[in-house]
Amino acid sequence: MRGGRFGRPVPLVHGNLALTNPVINLLNDLDRLADRAIDADEDAEIDVRTSTAWLAQASADQIALLLASLLDRSPPVNAAVDTLLAAIFQQILLRTLGRAGANPPLLLDDTMSSLIAAVYRHLQPESESRELLPMLLSSSRSERALLELADLLVDDPPRDPTRVAAALSPLFQHADYDPRWLFPRLLGALMHASVAVCVLDLANFLTRRHRFGRHPAAEHVQTLASLLGGVVGRLGQLESTAPQSGQEIQQRSHQISEGLSLAVSLCDALALIGDRSVTGKLYQASQLSHRRLRAEAAGALARLGEARGREMLIELAAEPIVRLRVLAYAEELDLLDQVDSQYRTDRAQAQAELVLWLAQPSQIGVPPIGCDWIESRCLYWPGFEEPVDCHLFRFTYVFGDMQFTNVGIAGPVCYAFGCDLSDLATDDIFAAFAGWHAEHEEMYEFPVSHLHQTEQVQVARLARRLHDEGYQQIEPYKLCLFFGDRVLVARAVLDDQTGVAVVDDVQTTWIVQGESDRPPGPDEAYCIYKGRRLLGHFNE
């Protein structure tokens, strides 16, 4: 049997067990992909899904033999091999998690756990596929698996922090393991930037859940305090010097985000350890401008009995970006009644939720400079059985010479559209968010270009209605089914104003483009239409 760049020829017997055909075939696929690195003319295209599908029904012995065979072969030499390995590990992970259809979850015994760790070490650090393997170990939560996991994270952790977080996430969700299988060994991973935050967060979480008699890092409190001092010092330097280029801005943002996360986790750990000798480092952290770090440092000082820490914590309730965290700490410390009542209202907490949502990396990434209340209503809202408080806020950002303003909602959901809703009536703003949030099996949308001829007739009929009502330059965008009603969404012009018309057999909703450079488009206009009908039906 031919061998490739990936390794030597596949033996028909491995150890005391014969390799089965699916294992041999998969190893041959890996070889063919590896061969492609030297023989560009060879057709080595592999259907990854087909090649790995059998793993959903594979026996534990077959999977163990496959893993053992990978150790006999050289590490991947190209991205195609690594992609196939990632698909293999993903299938095994699904088996471990019990998500492979009707098949029972794959139980990792000591041999399998050791094989997984060995394969991880065998693959190169550049391999993206190997970063799936730590989650296999944590999903098992057996003693051998967690001992192996701790060793991997200390000796050679994944480079991607999100993979580390994914690997440790099952340990936050389950309590069916002994944390001593991980700690104190796992504290050795604090030297790695990609791992330190996750390790500290796990230690802090387990301490809060009383899984330890005392914090596992208690004997290293001075080391943690020194680490906090170093991080705070570095953050202070970054805070005091302006970046000189776009690339430096991006790099600085990453450094600040990474440093803040570590400093926050360190503050929490020091407070849980309860050693008052570290208050100096916590006061140092509380002097930086980063509000989240100031809140964490103040909370830690307050938990260590520092009166100034309590005062700072109470003052920080005025800052929406940290208000929810401050209120949680104040309640924990029995200080809630000392927080100004205006910051404890439902509206104030809704404002904090929206600001926090806007500051997420997946959204704008930083909090707005202003977030002002517009209106609150208690409404029957799509997806909720009882009325909910719905709060609208106008938020503002300033980027250099450019000011950016929009409207967001908090209460049933935190959300803001990319388009500008500022020129809409308040009723339509609520409707836009309600229509966006609504989901139902009797609501469908189809682009006009994808419709069959019979449905094109409906488009023409509804477009004629718009024409008869005085609309011009009608450009159909999509046809929708709303609880049996056909609805056309179209760009149009009415009285020399451009906008979007949403028409059914009874009514037309007209959204004017206005003066904004980011006006609501066809999708947002249809959200307003849906929201008007839904809110109108369920609310007086």
Q: Are residues 412 and 472 in the same domain?
A: no
Residue position matching structure tokens 């800052």: 319
pLDDT at 22: 85
Question: Which positions ≥6 away from 452 have C-beta within 8 Å?
Answer: none
Is 410 a member of any domain? yes
Q: pLDDT digit of tens for each residue in the chain (540 aa)?
A: 334 445 444 444 455 445 568 888 888 888 888 876 544 444 446 788 888 888 888 888 899 999 999 998 888 768 889 999 999 999 999 888 877 665 677 888 999 999 999 999 999 888 999 999 999 999 999 999 999 999 999 999 998 889 999 999 999 999 999 999 999 999 999 999 889 999 999 999 999 999 999 999 999 999 999 999 999 999 999 878 776 666 777 788 888 888 999 999 999 999 999 999 999 999 999 999 999 999 999 999 999 999 999 999 999 999 999 999 999 999 999 999 999 999 999 999 999 999 999 999 899 988 999 999 999 999 999 999 999 999 999 999 998 888 889 999 999 999 999 999 999 999 999 999 999 999 999 999 999 988 998 899 999 999 999 999 999 999 999 999 999 999 999 999 999 999 999 999 999 999 998 778 899 999 999 999 999 999 999 997
Q: Are residues 449 and 365 in the same domain?
A: no
Q: Are residues 466 and 509 in the same domain?
A: yes
Which of 515, 533, 531, 534 is closest to 523 using CA atoms?
531
The phi, psi pair for 172, rounded to 5°, reads: -85, -25
Is 253 a member of any domain? no
How far is 144 from 406, CA to CA, in rounded Å?
53
The Cβ of residue 513 has, within 10 Å, a number of other Cβ atoms equal to 16
pLDDT at 274: 95
Q: Are residues 470 and 521 in the same domain?
A: yes
Q: Are residues 409 and 482 in the same domain?
A: no
Which of 496, 497, 498, 476 is closest to 487 using CA atoms?
476
Q: Are residues 387 and 468 in the same domain?
A: no
The helix (H) or strand (E) run that includes residue 402 is strand 402-410
Three-state SS letters, 471-501:
CEEEEEEEEEEECCEEEEEEEEEECCEEEEE
Q: Are residues 402 and 452 in the same domain?
A: no
**Vertex 429, ends 423 and 435: CA angle to 5°?**
135
pLDDT at 102: 57
Is 404 a member of any domain? yes
Q: Are residues 453 and 403 in the same domain?
A: no
Helix, strand, coil shares, percent, the chain, to 5: 55, 15, 30
pLDDT at 9: 46
Question: Which positions ≥6 away from 372 have C-beta within 8 Å?
Answer: 393, 394, 395
pLDDT at 244: 65
6 in Cβ contact with 76 (< 8 Å)? yes
Is 467 a member of any domain? yes
Q: Are residues 534 and 451 in the same domain?
A: yes
Is 356 a member of any domain? no
**Vertex 360, ends 358 and 362: CA angle to 5°?**
100
Is 512 a member of any domain? yes
Is 457 a member of any domain? yes
pLDDT at 312: 97
Q: Are residues 390 and 454 in the same domain?
A: no
Is 481 a member of any domain? yes
Number of domains in the chain: 2
Domain encompassing residue 387? 361-416
